[in-house]
A and B are shown apart, each in its own frame.
Chain A
């Protein structure tokens, strides 16, 4: 048994002992027919982690061009390196699901930002973003990725906010949230899959020497 499993087993064994009277309560509470419908899917143990990988997936909200553009963009924002990137994490599918349930205002704002990307691309390169060369995509994104205001950079007096950066941040925010909440994203952050890792150790430095 691995250390993690041992930890889990010991925690749960202790819990089971402590739980016995409470479980008796639970069983009498379960007499309520309404109870199951009053549990969240998570509380019923539903695991939705594989839904996006289902064969035959189709977007609920995005059209094909928007979906493909989002895949290309997500791959640029969080590319595969020595670890998988946003494309492998199917962030477009999660973003589509969440957007489909959003208010019309939020949906419109997202499509505006995605549309801005294509608009800039058409203006500068006469082609939609997803069809640009990698160099041109990079060139375009680089101009949007950092806050620039009016005629100069952030910090200049009298400058007005740069709408391009705002649109970039909307798209990047969605992609970041989708990626780092995915199973691939959790692994990217180094999580080993165990829920407990022993007591919190805290600072053990001598006084005045904390780094």
Chain B
């Protein structure tokens, strides 16, 4: 525990202005905003602290005993290792699946990838950062499916600006109707194959191919150093060039003198006061000692990750809220979304110079193709609603799939191959029957009831992936690619690691859990400020929008504190 200069008494004997649960991308922002505004904040993190000394981004694989095939990872992280970022290098950052179970119904697999450590998934995230537009916030009005968000792009735009300026997002402005431009640091460069694809796709289809917009610094920014292009960000960054909360927002919150950090605090539920409809604080289990403790606050703010925040609410049932706290609408747990992945194409550009070089700077970023289906200018597609965007890249690679053996194989590997590929992230429609509930027969290692997750992708998601495979193949062909492999599968939900929904915001308390400012309709001093609040998923990587939504909600809360409304 640390922070809170002058507050020497037992941190659990105080009543804070705000109890923030979770220290990742959104919790870090909540702690920073509120503490810097002068509120007394306690920040609870289920995992331990993290230190730069444990970063391994510069360690070659041959120093690992199993060179990233460790049986310990297989044994303790059978779910987590489905994420590329969970490696022999860093697997202890990810939850131990044996201690953190969840269940799924037969035939409905869901992969839930989580970290419990200061910073949460911001330590290993993909860093792609895209704004949503009113084509997303008002999607229901445009195609008749689902519900609009209760907020518009204009409401969020100033908060996108503020988050981007602080985080540092490198990218190129494109003036695209589906992907609003932001406050960008200089863009990373594109490879020759990518520039060719950009030119050909624009000429033949009129679609945009742009460099990925990424939370990685291309120039020194806010006391952090620019990227040195070593490559594997997910193992940590000794120059803090990619955005992660422990070394930015959480650091600021602690520096304010108004924030107390308690690590190893596994929150089980929200405590309600004797006075009706008022949260008193939260109860947590000390991860190491298993002691049960309570921390009190005038407000409770859940930023624990969409499904964990909802799990806490479902585990906080009272006589008044028998089906989960703040769930008079019945919507809590429902409308779970995760972007659909599995569609795309890959191929080779045979005329390009190959000869890959192991000493070339490794760009930790790719290219992006904004959504071009069901846009104002494209008109409506006949087979599906909404759309998808592509992430991809092109470059010379060592040819590890070269045929044959012997000296000629060795030579072929080094001569390499110029590869090009696009992979789609499709919108996941908000559906009532994709939901989470408490599994009464399953508890985690701290005795906290676990989740049962029921989710499938539907026909629209399958149609999106089908189309994304065909379109990617056409785009690669336009760029002159050969040996094109088209894929149009639907991977299991959870694979995008973009869980959204389950505590949606809305104007109608009968249909939604949260107000447009992420406040519970039912319990006025309870907030959920993370991806749980999303009404629809759009197809853009969601973290930037989650952070903007959080900062907006915090501004509103600070205003209410100033007016003594809390």
Contacts and interface: CB of A to CB of B under 8 A. Distances in A.
A197 B359 contact: yes
Contacts of A34: 48, 288
Contacts of A30: 49, 51
Contact of A146 (B74, B230, B403): B403
Interface string A159-196: 00000000000001000110011110110111110111
Interface in A14-40: 14-15, 18-19, 21-23, 25-26, 28-30, 32-35, 38-40
Nearest to B49: A29
Interface string B232-243: 000000111000
B118 interface: yes
B51 A49 contact: no
B404 A183 contact: no
Interface stretch (B59-67, B155-163, B437-445): B59-67
B51 A48 contact: no
B410 interface: yes
B225 interface: yes
- Using C-beta atoms within 8 Å of the partner chain, give the interface range for chain B: 35 or more
Interface string A134-165: 00000001000110000000000000000000
Given A51-B65, A211-B351, A42 B405 contact: no
Contact of A43 (B56, B192, B223, B264): B56
B50 A29 contact: yes
Interface residues of A, number: 75
B361 A186 contact: no
Given A11-B238, A42-B59, A145-B404, A48 B361 contact: no
Contacts of A23: 51-52
B371 to A, nearest CB: 25
A33 B228 CA distance: 34
Given A200-B361, A210-B193, A181 B62 contact: yes
Contact of A196 (B89, B190, B228, B357): B228
Contacts of A129: none
Interface stretch (B9-17, B25-33, B246-254): B246-254
A199 B229 contact: yes
Interface string B415-443: 00000000000000000000000000000
A195 B405 contact: no
B274 interface: no
Interface stretch (B194-202, B458-466, B511-519): B194-202
Interface centre among A7, A12, A21, A51 (most CB of B within 10 A): A21
Nearest to A14: B225
A198 interface: yes
A28 B2 contact: yes
Nearest to A89: B62
A177 B69 CA distance: 10
B88 interface: yes
A12 B189 contact: no
B229 A29 contact: no
Given A145-B404, A196-B229, A186 B60 contact: yes
Contacts of A28: 1-2, 49
Contact of A200 (B195, B229, B351): B229
A22 B2 contact: no
A104 interface: no
Contact of A22 (B51, B59, B68): B51
B188 A25 contact: no
A67 B49 CA distance: 44
A139 to B, nearest CB: 13
Interface in B82-121: 88-92, 118
A194 B359 contact: yes
A145 B405 contact: yes
Contacts of A141: 405
Contacts of B192: 203, 205, 210-211
Contacts of A43: 54-56, 89-90, 92
Contact of A42 (B56, B190, B223, B264): B56
A79 interface: yes
B52 A19 contact: yes
B69 A98 contact: yes
21 contacts: A15-B52, A18-B240, A29-B51, A32-B48, A40-B56, A41-B65, A42-B63, A48-B64, A76-B405, A83-B410, A98-B66, A101-B66, A101-B71, A145-B404, A181-B62, A185-B62, A189-B414, A198-B229, A199-B218, A200-B361, A203-B195
Interface of A: 7, 11-12, 14-15, 18-19, 21-23, 25-26, 28-30, 32-35, 38-44, 46-49, 51, 76-79, 81, 83, 85, 94, 97-98, 101-102, 141, 145-146, 172, 176-177, 180-183, 185-186, 188-192, 194-203, 205, 207-208, 210-211
